[in-house]
Amino acid sequence: MTGKISVIMPAYNEARHIVKNLLEVVDTLAVFGYDFEVIVVDDGSPDKTYLEAAKLLSTHPELVRVVHYDENQGKGNALICGTTFAKGVYVVFLDADMDLHPSQLPVLFGIMDAENADVVIGSKRHPASIVNYPWHRRMGSWAYYSLIKLLFGLPVKDTQTGLKVFKRAVLARVFPRILVKRFAFDIEVLANVHHLGYKIVDAPVTLEFQRGAFGRIKPRDIYRIMLDTAAIFYRMRIIKYYDRVLDVPLDELRAMSPGHEVEAVR
């Protein structure tokens, strides 16, 4: 790839694993020869994940950055916050739990180049994907995809997989429109990407699920996902809210963000 890559890793209560996982990301991207930075965003973790991550600021000051805020705001908010600090031409979303390994990134970048795509997202439902996750989640994923296809006509078969690549200019236009900061965040982002006319392509992934049957998702979260999804449809198709939002530079979004960059811990 030509141009800097910013990898945004939202993290919540990952203090036990964040140093190991962060080192693995850095080592993997270095082998590929990318010009990159990794930005860990601690989403108000009570276990102070950011303090563990900040240990790498002394050993990898040019490659690792850590952003922190005190109150949990949701994964979507962490991704927006981290992106406002990003310097890259490309922005990668990568979950901190490492269910999806960063060694898969060349595949996504290759597809972006070959398809002239603006966004490439990992898809558990891609025919070439290798996935190991509970059947409960498979059924839930299929049902939710069917609903999303009906409501928004997205040209992809999966929206929730935590490995995505964006051209930064796309996020600069989309993020000012985003209101959902938790579980339906991916839908609002991708629906707006598609609505603005950008090209989205899905990519195969290898996924090794490392949490319980439903991960951190609880029944009340499923209700909230459905409610937020309906609200996104209402804003997009009924009141045309997203068409009225003006583009805002990411630097201005940072001014509205609660996050601050952390200094090295010695």
pLDDT in tens, 205-264: 998 776 554 455 677 888 899 999 999 999 999 999 999 998 888 888 887 777 899 987
> Each residue of 97-156: pLDDT tens digit?
998 999 999 999 999 999 999 999 999 889 899 987 776 777 777 788 888 999 999 999
Residues of the chain with pLDDT > 90, as a percent, come to 73
* Secondary structure E strands in 79-233: 90-94, 119-123, 130-132, 163-167, 200-204, 206-208
Domains within the chain, CATH numbers bracketed: 5-261 (3.90.550.10)
- What's this model's pTM, rounded to 2 decimal places? 0.92
The b-or-e profile of 204-241 (16+ CB within 10 A means b, else e) is: bbbbebeeeeeeebeeeeeebbeebbeebbebbeeeee
Of 59 and 222, the one with more pLDDT: 59
In the chain, count of helices (H) and strands (E)? Answer: 11, 10
Could you tell me if 37 and 119 are in contact, meaning their C-beta atoms sit under 8 angstroms apart? no
